Structure 1
Amino acid sequence: MPGGGPDGTPARARHRVALVASSYAPHVGGVEEHVRQVARELAEAGDAVEVWTVDRGTGPGVREIEGVTVRYLPTPLPSGSVGGVGRFLVALPPAWRAWTSAVRAFRPDLLHVHCFGPNGVYALALHRRFRLPLVVTSHGETVADDTAVFERSTVLRVSLRRALRAAAAVTAPSEFVLERLRADFGLVGGEVVPNGVDLTLQGSGQRTPFEGRYVLGVGRLGRIKGFDLLVETFARAGLDPDLRLVIAGDGPERPALEALIRSEALDDRVLMAGRLDPATVADAMAGSIAVIVPSRVEAFGIVALEAWRSGAALVMTSRGGAAGFVRDGVDGVLVDPLDAEASADALRRVVADGDLRARLASAGRSRVAEYTWHRVAAAYLACYERVLARGRGSNRVPAGPREVGSR
Structure 2
Amino acid sequence: MADIAAYRVALITSSFAPHIGGVEEHVAQVARELTASGHVVEVWTVDRGVVPEHPFLAADGAEIAVRYLPTPLPARSLSAMVGFAWRWPSAWRAWRRAHRRLRPDVLHVHCFGPNGIYAEALHRQHRTPLIVTSHGETMGDDNGVYARSALLRARLRRAITSACAVTAPSRYVLNDLRSEYGLHTGIVVPNGVDLDVQSAQVPKTGDYFFAVGRLGHPKGFDLLIDAFARLGDEAARLIIGGDGPERGALQRQAEAAGVAERVSFTGRLSADQVDGYMRGARAVVVPSRSEAFGIVALEAWRAGAPLVMTSRGGAAEFVTDGEDGVLVDPTDVDALSEALAQVGNDPKLADRLRANGPARVRDFTWPAVVAQYLRLYDQLPTEPSR
Q: TM-score, normalised by structure 1?
A: 0.91
CA deviation profile, 1:361-380 (whole Å, cap 9, x unmatched): 11010000110000011110
Alignment partner, residue 288 of structure 1: 281
> Among 28, 31, 43, which residue is 1:39 paired with?
31
- Quick check: 1:28 aligned with 2:20? yes
8 Å CA contact 1:202, 1:310 repeated in 2: no
The 5 Å alignment of 1:236-251 reads 236-239=230-233, 241-251=234-244
The 5 Å alignment of 1:213-228 reads 213-228=207-222
- Quick check: 1:70 aligned with 2:66? yes
**3-state SS in 2 of match to 1:56:** coil
**3-state SS in 2 of match to 1:370:** coil
Deviates further, 83-92 or 208-217:
208-217
Which runs of no fewer than 5 residues in structure 2 stay unpaired?
none
**3-state SS in 1 of match to 2:362:** helix
**3-state SS in 1 of match to 2:261:** coil
Give the partner amino acid of 2:245: P
Which runs of no fewer than 5 residues in structure 1 stay unpaired?
1-10, 403-407
Aligned length: 379
Give the partner amino acid of 1:46: G
Shift of the alpha carbon at 1:243?
Answer: 1.0
> Among 243, 262, 265, which residue is 1:269 paired with?
262
> Among 295, 308, 316, which residue is 1:302 paired with?
295
- Quick check: 1:311 aligned with 2:279? no
> Among 367, 377, 382, which residue is 2:375 paired with?
382
**3-state SS in 2 of match to 1:268:** helix
Give the partner amino acid of 2:197: L
8 Å CA contact 2:224, 2:333 repeated in 1: no
Shift of the alpha carbon at 1:210?
Answer: 3.3
**3-state SS in 2 of match to 1:50:** strand
**3-state SS in 2 of match to 1:212:** coil
> Among 91, 106, 130, which residue is 1:134 paired with?
130
Given the superposition, is the C-alpha separation of residues 282 and 290 from structure 1 closer, same or farther in structure 2, using an over 3 Å criterion?
same
Give the partner amino acid of 2:213: G
CA distance in 2, matches of 1:246, 1:158: 41
- Quick check: 1:343 aligned with 2:339? no
Shift of the alpha carbon at 1:266?
Answer: 0.6
> Among 149, 157, 166, which residue is 2:145 paired with?
149
Give the partner amino acid of 2:145: V
> Among 23, 34, 58, which residue is 2:50 paired with?
58
Given the superposition, is the C-alpha separation of residues 33 and 82 from structure 1 closer, same or farther in structure 2, using an over 3 Å criterion?
same
Shift of the alpha carbon at 1:63?
Answer: 6.2
CA distance in 1, matches of 2:97, 2:341: 58
- Quick check: 1:172 aligned with 2:165? no
> Among 110, 132, 145, which residue is 2:106 paired with?
110
8 Å CA contact 1:330, 1:360 repeated in 2: yes
CA deviation profile, 1:223-253 (whole Å, cap 9, x unmatched): 10000000000111222x1111111111100
Aligned-pair Cα RMSD in Å: 1.6
8 Å CA contact 1:220, 1:250 repeated in 2: yes
Shift of the alpha carbon at 1:185?
Answer: 0.6
> Among 307, 315, 322, which residue is 2:315 paired with?
322
CA distance in 2, matches of 1:44, 1:250: 31
Given the superposition, is the C-alpha separation of residues 99 and 68 from structure 1 closer, same or farther in structure 2, using an over 3 Å criterion?
same
Report percent identity of matched pairs.
57
* Runs (4+) off by over 6 Å: none
Deviates further, 276-285 or 111-120:
276-285
> Among 83, 88, 91, which residue is 1:87 paired with?
83
CA distance in 1, matches of 2:219, 2:51: 30
CA distance in 2, matches of 1:173, 1:59: 28
